Amino acid sequence: MIHLNKVHHIALICTDYTKSKQFYIGILGLTIIQEIYREERDSYKLDLALNGNFILELFSFPNPPKRVTSPEAAGLRHLAFEVNNIQETRKHILEQGCIAEDIRIDEYTQKKFFFTADPDNTPIEFYEK
């Protein structure tokens, strides 16, 4: 039997590196671990942390294909972040000029949550602790 310790990281490819970098750092508050430009690929690789833990690799590639549908396409469905206060989180997201769905209640856990999206329309869920 295999023993998994934790999720090491999630990798995303963006279409506008500057815009996506601003979203994940400026709006969501992730911090940079390292940023590398790979000239042979004309690609950036940005390692981001949440509370000091490496969680996200953000890649840029020239002309990546668009996501076909959202959120029911095969592959990554969405990213989810736990928050302490769902109302304050939604207010912050809206103040940054992002679109945010209304807050809903999870029918199984009775916890509050809502969705927004990153600049490439990757669904981002915020789920109240």
Q: Which neighbouring-strand residues pair with 59?
A: 13, 45
Would you give per-residue pLDDT tens digits along the chain (129 residues)? 867 677 778 999 998 999 999 999 999 999 999 999 999 989 999 999 999 999 999 999 888 877 676 666 667 778 999 999 999 999 999 999 999 999 999 998 999 999 999 998 889 999 999
Q: Please tell me the predicted confidence (pLDDT) of residue 1.
A: 83
| Contact (Cβ atoms closer than 8 angstroms) between residue 120 and residue 104 | no
Q: Which neighbouring-strand residues pair with 58?
A: 12, 46
| Contact (Cβ atoms closer than 8 angstroms) between residue 85 and residue 68 | no
